[in-house]
Amino acid sequence: MRELAHSLPIRPDVCIGDVGTSVHFGPELMPLSDIEDWIDSAWRPDASAAIAAALQMCAQLCPQQHCGGRRLSYTFKDLNSAYRAVLMIRAHGFDALISSAFS
């Protein structure tokens, strides 16, 4: 996120990244600890493992490498499989977002 912000013609005061799971502010884009703590308190300790276990049944999904510890990201080969995965994730009490050229 810092590299992108440094390449912009203007300097943002705040950057919200990782699909809203990280917040940085100021000239050096340092983490905003009060907001980070609030986000951490809402992220269940078992969240990553619970989501990964639920999505193991989805053969059409492939985990992506990412930056940030409060989200999981997958690529998909079939949009219907992605929609089924969203339903599974929501059934476990999590939010899901699909970003696709198909949708």
Residue 38 resides in a domain: yes
Q: How far is CA 79 from the centre of its chain?
A: 19
- Are 33 and 66 part of one and the same domain? no
Per-residue model confidence (pLDDT) at position 66: 67
Number of folded domains that form the chain: 2
Give the other-Cβ count within 10 Å of 23's Cβ.
Answer: 19
Per-residue pLDDT averaged across 62-75, rounded?
77
- Asked if the structure places residue 97 within a domain, the reply is no
Asked if residue 16 is part of any domain, the answer here is yes
> For residue 100, is pLDDT > 60?
yes
Identify the pLDDT of residue 90. Answer: 92
Q: Is the dihedral of CA 53, 98, 100, 48 positive or negative?
A: negative
The owner of tokens 């619970």 is 50
Q: List pLDDT tens digits, range 10-58.
A: 877 888 887 778 888 888 888 888 988 998 888 888 888 888 888 888 8
- Examine residue 101 and state whether it is found in any structural domain, yes or no: no
As a whole number of angstroms, the distance between CA 102 and CA 1 comes to 26
Residue 17 domain boundaries: 2-42
Q: Are residues 34 and 52 in the same domain?
A: no
